[in-house]
């Protein structure tokens, strides 16, 4: 039986927001699947900025980007690199301040407050009230394309050494499951998913990220 979802309180709430101009989305580009995310965003009419240093994220007048994507890859490597390159605090502060953010696979692990079975010394940004188990769906050889029922309808996506959300806080909305496992969550302006929509050409999650920008711009200007 497909899971059912109550009327979402946050996942679709930005659908009517309007952006003032062509948005710029920062894609963390230290390691992992960067190009595929950029291609989806370009097809949706957004500009893509590759983030490798704090200056790529923060300029003299504030944030250089209107939204953020944390791509898949090796979560422990990305964690180490964001701290090595001085991005940990700027990323954490921007996300906590309401910057619309999409994290896929390793990006979900980076967002979570708690990580089960972390690599030695692995940390996370701790901005999403959820516990994530790394590699919950097996190794690289267990990768597969799967059709999921989500809060926005069925989607076909790829699972590659995917994590699972094993616990969520009271303010976190579940937006996708694989069987009974939670594989997609939403909290405020943060969306974390355990899978890769960018590898199958599924644009709904990126489109939703863009719809949140108008509301964030309005709040920042008020």
Average pLDDT over the chain, rounded to an integer: 87
Q: What is the pLDDT of residues 100-142, one digit of tens each?
A: 999 999 999 999 999 998 889 999 999 999 999 987 765 554 5
Catalytic residues, which ones?
Answer: 105, 196, 198
Helix (H), strand (E), coil (C) string for 177-199 = EECCEEEEEEECCEEEECCECCC
CA 117 to chain centre: 20
Phi, psi of 78, deg, nearest 5: -60, -40
User: 152-172 in b/e burial notation, b at 16+ Cβ within 10 A?
Assistant: beebebbbbbbbbbeebeeeb
Q: Is the confidence at residue 19, as pLDDT, over 80? A: no
Domains of the chain and any CATH numbers: 24-221 (3.40.50.880)
Instruction: Output the pLDDT for position 85.
Output: 96
pTM of the model: 0.89
| Mean pLDDT of the 59-74 span | 94
> pLDDT by residue (tens digit) across 22-44?
999 999 999 988 999 999 999 99
- Give me the pLDDT at residue 135, please: 77
């Amino acid at each position: 039986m497909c899971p059912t979802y109550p009327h979402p309180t946050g996942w679709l709430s930005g659908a009517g927001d309007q952006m003032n101009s062509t948005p710029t989305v920062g894609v963390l580009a230290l390691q992992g699947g960067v190009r595929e995310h950029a291609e989806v965003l370009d097809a949706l009419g957004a500009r893509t900025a590759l983030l490798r240093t704090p200056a790529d994220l923060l300029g003299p007048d504030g944030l250089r980007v209107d939204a953020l994507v944390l791509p898949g890859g090796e979560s422990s490597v990305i964690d180490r690199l964001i701290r090595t390159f001085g991005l940990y605090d700027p990323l954490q502060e921007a996300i906590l301040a309401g910057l619309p953010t999409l994290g896929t696979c390793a990006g979900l692990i980076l967002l979570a407050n708690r990580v089960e079975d972390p690599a030695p010394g692995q940390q996370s940004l701790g901005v999403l009230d959820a516990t994530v188990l790394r590699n919950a769906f097996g190794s690289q050889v267990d990768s597969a394309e799967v059709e999921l029922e989500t809060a926005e309808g069925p989607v076909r996506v790829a699972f590659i050494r995917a994590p699972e959300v094993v616990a969520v806080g009271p303010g976190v909305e579940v937006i996708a499951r694989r069987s009974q496992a939670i594989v997609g969550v939403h909290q405020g302006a943060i969306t974390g998913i355990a899978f890769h929509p960018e590898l199958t050409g599924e644009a709904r999650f990126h489109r939703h990220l863009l719809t949140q920008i108008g509301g964030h711009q309005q709040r920042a200007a008020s």
